[in-house]
Amino acid sequence: MPLNATAERFLSLSLSEQKRHVRRCRRIRYVAGDAFMRRAHDLHHHQYERRSLCLALVGSSWLGKSTLLEWIYDDARKASPQGVSAIHIEVGPNWTLNSLYNACLTALHAPVSAKGDPEMKFAALCRTLTAKRTTLVLIDELHELATCQPRTLPKLLAGLKKICNIPGITVIVSGLESVMDLLRNYQQLATRFEVHRLQPWEENQEYYNFIASYLTDFPLPDADDLLSPNSDLAAKLLVLSNNCIGACTEMLCEAACHALDEGRAGITEQDILRAKRVWEDKQTTKLQSRPPRHRHSP
């Protein structure tokens, strides 16, 4: 399996440049990802005149939901360089209605204040969306709405509905499966969202093709040894990542960086096991850095 032209060029560059390139590598060419992106594109460009349909992408952690939203966002911005054609926000713990509107306004490069009347903020948001020619709103980590104060949640869901009702706006949300509980509990949103689910990956030809697309990008002459018939490293990588493609590809890139550090021409089991430890340490740090969250009573 030959390296692509970019990987060949990086073979002669410095170690730091090679590692920077590896960490930037990103592939989403797989069936479920392609299908969702096509649906998002079609819906964005062929909405109903008065009532917009919205999309919800759900699944467990590290299945690639955020990556898909990033690619949809990038494609929308490239297709319409004038104005701000799309905004991409991420829900945080303990949000209020003002948090939702402020996040949208910030993404539109509009002035915001922590306090203020939500109705006035929504009016400002509508004006700014029109002025910036924005037609796509992407909201990631929607399940975090469940961490807000119980009395705040209905207001947040009502605010989300108002954004969905803005003429000419397509809304796409993503999050864990609990997103569906949030939407079902607010009837006017439950009928508005078309749901797409990402499933854990299996060890099949699609998985191996996906990994191969990454390996051709790595400046490692023997990167394809990972897929040798005599090697079970690719299968081990999938098991170590709990069949989650997001974790799998992050570990793969980290393993490639470690192989480069060690001066190896390919990825070994040692590199993959070290990448697993690095990934676990990152997740622990991320959890420890999160602010305290409000929880609903059982």
**Residue 66 belongs to domain spanning:** 31-197
In a domain, residue 212? The reply is no
Do residue 51 and residue 165 come from a single domain?
yes
> What is the rounded average pLDDT of the residues 120-129?
95
CATH number at residue 111: 3.40.50.300
On whether both 129 and 182 belong to a single domain, the answer is yes
Confidence of residue 31 (pLDDT cuts 50, 70, 90): confident
Let me know whether 140 and 234 are in one domain: no
pTM: 0.85
Strand partners, 197: 58
Task: List, for residues 258-274, the tens digit of each pLDDT value.
Answer: 999 999 999 999 999 99
More confident residue, 88 or 43: 88
172 and 57 Cβ atoms separated by less than 8 Å: yes
Q: What is the pLDDT of residues 69-123, one digit of tens each?
A: 999 999 888 887 777 899 999 999 999 999 999 999 999 999 888 788 999 999 9
Residue type, 133: R
264 backbone φψ class: left, alpha, beta (φ>0; ψ -120 to 50): beta
Mean pLDDT in the chain?
88
Three-class secondary structure of residue 219 per DSSP: coil
In a domain, 35, yes or no: yes
DSSP string, 68-126: HHHHHHHHHHHH-TTTT-EEEEE--TT--HHHHHHHHHHHTT----SSS-HHHHHHHHH
pLDDT of residue 298: 27
* H or E element that contains 32: helix 31-45
Q: How many CA atoms lie within 13 A of 287 on its CB side?
A: 6
Give how many domains the chain has, as a whole number: 2
Are 161 and 264 part of one and the same domain?
no
Q: Are residues 265 and 163 in the same domain?
A: no
Percent of the chain with pLDDT over 70: 94
